[in-house]
Amino acid sequence: MLVIVAPGQGAQTPGFLEPWLADPAFESRLNWLSAVAGLDLTHYGTKADADTIRDTAIAQPLLVASSMLAALAVFPQPSDAFTKVGAVAGHSVGEIAAAAGTGVLSAEQAMVLVRERGKAMAAAAAATATSMTAVLGGDRDEILAKLAEHGLTAANDNGPGQIVAAGTVEELAALAADPPAKTRLIPLSVAGAFHTKHMEPAVQTLAKYATAISTHDPRTRLISNRDGHVVHDGREVLNRLVNQVNSPVRWDLCMETMADLQVTGILELPPAGTLTGIAKRALKGVETFALKTPEQLDDARAFVDKHGSPSEIDASPTWRLLVAPMKGTFTRAGQISRESGDTVESGEVVAKVKSLRDELEVKAPHGGIVVEWLVEEGDPVAPGQPLVRLHPKGGNA
C-alpha cells in the first residue's frame, strides 16, 4: 500500500521551489494560488531568505501550495491518484494539503483557509511570548510527566524519542533548567506555541470561516492528526482542521494506522525529508521516497506504481460510505439492526469498532437508506475499510 504525506511548518528551506518553476504548468498554477493567497509565493519559494519564510503567515500558504502542486506533477490526471493511493496524511498544516488532495476542499478553498490560518496563528502568537522545544530521546512517560510539571504541552508527538514541547518562554526555560533524564533539548525557531491553548483565538477565527465552506467526502483514506483515525466525512475533516490548531499533532498515532494498513511505501511531497526521516526510524521495512525536485518525478511515478493499489473507498455520487475509523472488530451488537432498505437517521449510531485500546461508535452523519452491509458481525476491519453503503435520502443528503 502507498501512503502520500504532506509536511508541516519548519520543513521549508530557502529556494526549495526554484527547480520546480522551470515547468510552465507549475509556474502558472503557483501564480494562480499566489493570487488566491494574496502572497507572491514564487518570490517566497525562490528568493526569500530563511527568516522571511519562517513567518507563519508566509510559511503555511507556501507549504500547502507546494504540496498540492507537486501532487499534480506526480499525477497530471488527478483521478489517476485514486487508483494508486491507499491513504493520505499531512503533518500539522500539511493536513490542509491532504484534505485538498483527497477532494474534501478545492485548491482555492485550501489556499483561503491556510491564508487565514497563518494570519490568525501569527496574531495569536504575538499576544504572548511563547515558543517550542524539541525533546529528543528519553522515556516517553517521564517526558510527558515533566512537561506537565512545568505547564507545557506535548504539541507534536512524532514517535519514539521525538516529542515537541510548547508553552511560554518562561515554562520552556524552566524545562531547560530541569530536563527529563537522558534527553537532549533543541529550541525551535518558531513564532509561537502552536497546537496548544495559546492558539485558541485562531481556532475561534477559523471556526467562523468554516461555516461558509462546502466540503466533499474524501476519495481515499484520510488519516487525522488528532488521533490517527481514518475520517471519511468531509464536514468532520474540516472541523478537525479548525480544531487541530490548538490540539496536539499525534503523528505517532498516524504512523500506527499506517502500520495497521500494512503500508509498504511512503511518498513525501516537497519540501520533503522530515516525515520520511521519521518513518525510517518508526516504520522499519517501509520504503520511503522524499520528493524534492522535478528531476525525481519519473522515479516518483515508478515508486507509485510499485506500491500503489486502488483504495477501497469509491466516491460514487449515488451513495455514501461509512468506514471504520481504526483497526478493530466490527459489531452491530446493542444497536437496532438496520438491514437493506431500512432508513438510518442523521447522527444515528449504526455500528461500533472495538480494539484493545478503544471502542468507537460509527455514526451516519447525513442519514440515508441502507443499500448493503459490506462486513459481517465480528469481522476484523482495517482503518478506512467500508462498512455499509447508504443511499442519500431527501434533505439528509
Q: Which pLDDT tens digit goes with each residue over 81-108?
A: 888 999 999 999 999 999 999 999 999 9
Angle at 156 between CA 214 and CA 146, to 5 degrees: 140
Instruction: List the domains of the chain with CATH numbers.
Output: 2-124+197-307 (3.40.366.10), 127-187 (3.30.70.250), 320-396 (2.40.50.100)
195 catalytic residue (yes or no): yes
Cα 192 off chain centre by: 20
What nine digits make up the cell of 350?
Answer: 449504526
The answer to whether 100 touches 28, Cβ cutoff 8 Å, is no
Q: What is the DSSP string of 203-218?
A: HHHHHHHHTT------
**Strand 2-6 relative to strand 87-90, pairing:** parallel
Q: What gap in Å lies between CA 216 and CA 188, rounded to an integer?
A: 36
Quick check: 12 pLDDT over 60?
yes
Question: Sorting pLDDT into bands at 50, 70 and 90, what band is 395?
Answer: very low
Contact residues for 284 (Cβ-Cβ < 8 A; gap 6+): none
DSSP category for residue 50: H
28 catalytic residue (yes or no): no
Contact residues for 188 (Cβ-Cβ < 8 A; gap 6+): 10, 131, 132, 133, 134, 164
pLDDT of residue 316: 56
Question: Sorting pLDDT into bands at 50, 70 and 90, what band is 341?
Answer: confident
What nine digits make up the cell of 113?
Answer: 483557509
- Which residue among the candidates 92, 224, 247, 311 is catalytic per the annotation? 92
> 145: buried, middle or exposed (CB in 10 Å: 19+, 13-18, 0-12)?
exposed
Quick check: 313 pLDDT over 80?
no
Which H or E run contains 87? strand 87-90
Distances (CA, A) of 241 to 29, 92, 117, 261, 323: 24, 9, 10, 23, 19
Q: What is the pTM of this model?
A: 0.91
Q: What gap in Å lies between CA 254 and CA 227, rounded to an integer?
A: 7
- Which residue among the candidates 91, 150, 195, 229 is catalytic per the annotation? 195
Quick check: 317 pLDDT over 70?
no
Contact residues for 280 (Cβ-Cβ < 8 A; gap 6+): 288
- What mean pLDDT comes out for the span 42-57? 95
User: Among 148-157, 180-189, 306-315, 322-331, which is the least confidently predicted range?
Assistant: 306-315
CB atoms within 10 A of CB 299: 11
Question: What are 141-179's pLDDT values in tens digits?
Answer: 999 999 999 999 999 999 888 999 999 999 999 999 999
The answer to whether 267 touches 289, Cβ cutoff 8 Å, is yes
